[in-house]
Amino acid sequence: MLRQFVVGIGALATLCAGLALASDLGAPISAEPQSSAGDSSTGKLYTSPQTAEALTRALGSLDAWEGDSQDLSRARRALEDVLRRDPESAGGHRAIARYHIMRGYLSGERYEPAALDMAERSLDKAIELAPEYADAYVLRGNLYYLMKRPAAARQALDKAEALGSRSPWLYLNRADLMQSEGRYDEATALYQSIADKKTASPKERGAAYGGLIGVHYRAGRYDEVDRAYQASLALMPKSAWEHGNYAAFLLCSKDDYEAAIAQYRQALALMSYGAAREGLQASLQRKWVAQVLEGSDQEALVTRSEMGAASGDRSTAVLADVCKVGPTVGPRIRAGYKVASLKALSPAEAIRLAAGAPEGELVEGVFEFEVIGTGRDQGDTFLNSQADYRDPATLTVRMGRRAADGFRAKYRFDPDLDLRGKRIQVAAGVMRVKISMLKDGIRTGQFYYQTQVLVGDASQIVVVE
């Protein structure tokens, strides 16, 4: 994975998405230490001391990258100079592959395919020149992981290990593969072994903490995520990205907007970048939402002023974009209804609202009804406004596993067992869903439409009576 949780807000929200997470790109951060120039067993990593020195400087520019395009441009120019002097430098070709991966980063785990293709060609050249170049195979493993080719990634990492690599990036890249396969305990053990290794470089340990953040997040262990972020920041206190990533987690997953505001401001003091500016605006909007719901009108006016100073946008649109799911969604929707003096919608009104939207599009609102029927299916919990969930007049709340677990923890009872006969209010998105009918697990060709209110967090449901 790109260990620079650059748009951590979006990634965490979608796993949110994540996560995204500290800063490596799978390659060692020093110049190639494994062989000398002209070693016939490995090919030519570089052919002169001057090339080695130039390559070391270029790698320094790559390692300094924290999202600033100028650092990347300096690295590109330095690497082009290395390959001009020595077109057969395997180390230079591997380093330019790192550059292509970095420049191709978009968000989360999304990359420009053309950039990854160029990185692959550069690595192929490096390995052609130095067939036993272990570090090139380590990076190739990371590249294939990013290209969604896990079998090829594993093969490349096995080759690196067979060639004698003991690079921390080898084990970090293996842990990434394990995490993607749901082998969380094994991934955690590998990440933790590098995080605890005092001889590892700050970047290597930071990457390990990034991996721990991702694996704990996916497992829903938010206290462990928090601890890993704090350890990472103790290691890299001047990393603007890490402060911003932590802020995104605090806002979108823990709904701690005050702490998020402080972290975003620390990030912006270190480097002004778009994701942190947007995140700060979202955090201020969440603070305003809380003040609106509490009836703190004067405080809300002050926060509105800060929101305007931050971006000129006084709505909660940025908050909706930054935290697409999680505990901020319900309060944000309720505040919008309160400010506009709107009443909660009935099932019939919700069904009309969803039917009028484009297919597959969520329409947000506050919906209120008495729970008549309930059920569970494949980890989801369903709350229905009618006894027959197939009735076109039925409005169905669909709670994901995490939302249902959160509801049980918060209220100490099961939503599908104990909400029958109770009136609930739900702040969420509603959509019309086409349900195919099955017989013996096979589609019959028949279907019906259901109007579903999608709930991802327990805070979106309030028991009215």
Look at residue 293 and tell me if it is in a domain: no
292 and 332 Cβ atoms separated by less than 8 Å: no
In this structure, what token pair is assigned to residue 3?
């260990």
In this structure, what token pair is assigned to residue 39?
């070693």
C-beta atoms surrounding 391 within 10 Å: 14
Q: How far is CA 200 from CA 3, 28, 61, 384, in A?
A: 16, 11, 20, 55
pLDDT, residue 258, reads: 98
Q: If DSSP codes are grouped into helix, strand and coil, which group holds residue 451?
A: strand
Verify that 386 and 264 share a domain, yes or no: no
Verify that 253 and 354 share a domain, yes or no: no
Verify that 263 and 379 share a domain, yes or no: no
Look at residue 330 and tell me if it is in a domain: no
pLDDT, residue 430, reads: 97
Percent of the chain as helix, strand, coil, to the nearest 5: 55, 15, 30
Verify that 20 and 152 share a domain, yes or no: yes
Report the CATH number that the domain containing residue 110 is assigned in CATH: 1.25.40.10
Closest CA to 103 of 141, 136, 77: 77
5 and 22 Cβ atoms separated by less than 8 Å: yes
Closest CA to 384 of 368, 403, 365, 370: 370
The pairing of beta strand 423-439 with beta strand 442-455 = antiparallel
pLDDT, residue 146, reads: 96
C-beta atoms surrounding 26 within 10 Å: 30
Place of tokens 């060709």: 445
pLDDT, residue 314, reads: 53
Within 8 A by CB and 6+ apart from 400, the residues are 379, 380, 455, 456
CA 237, 243, 247, 249 torsion-angle sign: negative
Which of 224, 244, 278 is where one domain is finished?
Answer: 278
Look at residue 94 and tell me if it is in a domain: yes
Report the CATH number that the domain containing residue 375 is assigned in CATH: 2.40.50.140
Q: pLDDT for 24-83, tens place per residue? A: 333 322 223 322 223 323 346 656 777 788 888 888 878 877 766 777 888 899 899 889
Verify that 115 and 210 share a domain, yes or no: yes
pLDDT, residue 28, reads: 29
pTM of the model: 0.80
Q: If DSSP codes are grouped into helix, strand and coil, which group holds residue 186?
A: helix
Tally of domains within the chain? 2
Which of 252, 278, 304 is where one domain is finished?
Answer: 278
Verify that 266 and 357 share a domain, yes or no: no
Distance CA 268, CA 418 (A): 47
User: Which residue range forms the structural domain that includes residue 64?
Assistant: 8-278
Per-residue pLDDT of the chain (465 residues; tens, 9 = 90+): 444 333 333 333 333 333 332 333 333 222 233 222 233 233 466 567 777 888 888 888 788 777 667 778 888 998 998 899 899 999 999 999 999 999 998 877 789 999 999 999 999 999 999 999 999 999 999 999 999 999 999 999 999 999 999 999 999 999 999 999 989 999 999 999 999 999 999 889 999 999 999 999 988 899 999 999 999 999 999 999 999 999 999 999 999 999 999 999 999 999 998 999 999 999 999 999 999 999 999 999 999 888 875 554 457 899 999 999 999 999 999 999 999 999 999 999 999 999 999 988 999 999 999 999 999 998 899 999 999 998 999 999 999 998 999 899 888 889 999 999 999 999 999 999 988 887 777 888 888 889 999 999 999 999 997
Verify that 117 and 243 share a domain, yes or no: yes
Look at residue 453 and tell me if it is in a domain: yes
Which of 245, 278, 311 is where one domain is finished?
Answer: 278
pLDDT, residue 310, reads: 53
Q: pLDDT for 229-270, tens place per residue? A: 999 999 999 999 999 999 999 999 999 999 999 999 999 999
Verify that 222 and 82 share a domain, yes or no: yes
